[in-house]
């Protein structure tokens, strides 16, 4: 993999990733842009002990523009986008309207609330463009292109984790307007958080208690149980396993685990990265064959936090969708939104069977 780094007109970093023999695109951004907002802040919810990101400047961000105005497409003469090149393989740049910023300033004023500390929203948010083809999906990528994306995730995880104050790096893709995507171009994002996220904290607490009771690794035992049962298994290769979890919360939910325990994407070997690209593309294509339209989904990498003194991290990917039928979506209503207590409409075994048959 070859990485080329440059800056956009407002000083944000832009990185191009190509195969080792790939050419270097044009690097000049001729636009005149205002400076990026540095007003992001964090406030601690005292009832849940969770940090909430406040980014009021994101309220007016670009929302589902027509293709001719897509900011993630390659640039052409007379129309300049966030990527000043006529074509690209994988491009990653700092978000223009970030939830977190390394330039965030301490907020001014007093909340007059002694239980809610406030601090600058320090961190980094990046946009990951998987391909220059506006009409492609991740599922349309070749195995080689998908592997390049994996290498780019690994590169960014390693570099962002080294930033001062970053506690966790999260790579993810939101796909489909049903999920709330605001840009149709195939892309994902990376958040470098200044805290360990609530979901990760909870999983680590559960895994630590499980180790205390059994002396064993919870994630490894979950993987072993699914492989042994076979009921919900979708694929198993030399390095990866994909399955619908037995207690799935979402109408469509698939977990992908490496068979060798690693904590982060950079730790994956070349063989494991190649194998993931193949398995992941197969899962995505099966998901898109469930209904007459591409499946809306969130694809979330769960990496160990930057500091893992208890040695609990086990890298895995969780993909889930709100579509519960061809013409129906699952909305998070009272029990889910109010109490975080999920009610599922379909059995995981039935979903696994349909995905195997797709």
Does 316 appear as a known binding residue?
no
Closest by alpha carbon to 357, among 297, 256, 287? 287
| DSSP H helical ranges for the chain | 143-161, 198-214, 218-229, 270-288, 339, 348-357
Q: For residues 91 and 324, what is the distance between their CA atoms, to the nearest angstrom?
A: 33
Opening angle at CA 194, ends 191 and 197, nearest 5? 70
The neighbour count for residue 268, using CB atoms within 10 Å, is: 22
Catalytically annotated residues:
187
Give the integer Cα–Cα distance in Å for 78 and 85. 12
Tell me if 171 is assigned to a ligand binding site: no
Which has the closest alpha carbon to 150: 255, 268, 234? 268
Element (DSSP H or E) covering residue 258: strand 252-258
Query: What dihedral angle (degrees, nearest 10) is formed by the CA atoms of 127, 130, 136, 139?
Result: -120
How far is Cα 58 from Cα 36, in angstroms, rounded to an integer?
A: 11
CA atoms of 226 and 232, how far apart (whole Å): 7
Structure tokens at 134: 């506006």
Alpha carbon 334 to its chain centroid, in Å, reads 26
326 contact partners, CB below 8 Å, separation of at least 6: 291, 292
Phi-psi region of 9 (alpha: psi -120 to 50; beta: other; left: phi over 0): alpha
CA distance linking residue 137 with residue 160, whole number of Å: 26
13 beta partners: 7
Side-chain-facing half-sphere of 146: CA atoms under 13 Å: 21
Supply φ then ψ for residue 52, to 5 degrees. Answer: -115, 130
Cα 72 to Cα 187: distance, rounded to the nearest angstrom: 8
Annotated binding site: 70, 73, 134, 185
Annotated binding site for Zn(2+): 70, 73, 134, 185
């Amino acid at each position: 993999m070859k990485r080329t780094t440059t800056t956009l007109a407002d000083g944000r970093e832009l990185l191009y990733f190509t195969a080792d023999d790939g050419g270097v695109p044009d690097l000049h951004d001729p636009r005149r842009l205002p400076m990026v907002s540095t007003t992001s802040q964090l406030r601690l919810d005292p009832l849940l002990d969770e940090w909430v990101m406040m980014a009021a400047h994101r309220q007016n961000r670009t929302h589902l523009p027509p293709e001719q105005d897509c900011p993630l497409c390659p640039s052409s003469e007379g129309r300049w986008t966030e990527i000043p090149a006529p074509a690209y393989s994988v491009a990653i740049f700092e978000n223009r309207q970030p939830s977190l910023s390394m330039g965030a300033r301490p907020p001014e004023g007093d909340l007059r609330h002694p239980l809610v500390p406030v601090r600058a929203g320090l961190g980094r948010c990046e946009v990951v463009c998987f391909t220059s083809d506006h009409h492609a999906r991740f599922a349309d990528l070749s195995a080689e292109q998908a592997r390049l994306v994996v290498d780019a995730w690994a590169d960014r995880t390693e570099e962002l984790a080294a930033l001062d104050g970053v506690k966790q790096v999260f790579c993810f893709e939101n796909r489909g307007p049903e999920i709330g995507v605001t840009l149709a171009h195939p892309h994902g994002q990376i958040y470098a958080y200044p805290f360990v996220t609530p979901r990760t904290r909870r999983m680590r607490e559960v895994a630590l208690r499980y180790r205390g009771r059994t002396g064993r690794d919870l994630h490894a035992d979950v993987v072993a149980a699914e492989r042994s049962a076979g009921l919900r298994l979708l694929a198993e290769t030399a390095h990866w396993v994909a399955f619908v979890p037995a207690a799935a919360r979402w109408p469509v939910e698939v977990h992908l685990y490496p068979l060798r325990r690693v904590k982060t994407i950079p730790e994956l070997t070349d063989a494991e990265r190649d194998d993931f690209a193949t398995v992941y593309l197969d899962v995505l294509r099966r998901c898109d064959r469930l209904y007459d339209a591409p499946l809306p989904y969130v694809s979330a990498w769960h990496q160990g936090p930057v500091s893992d003194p208890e040695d609990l991290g086990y890298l895995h990917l969780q993909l889930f969708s709100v579509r519960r039928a061809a013409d129906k979506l699952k909305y998070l209503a009272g029990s889910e939104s109010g109490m975080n207590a999920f009610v599922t409409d379909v059995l995981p075994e039935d979903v696994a069977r349909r995905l195997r048959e797709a």
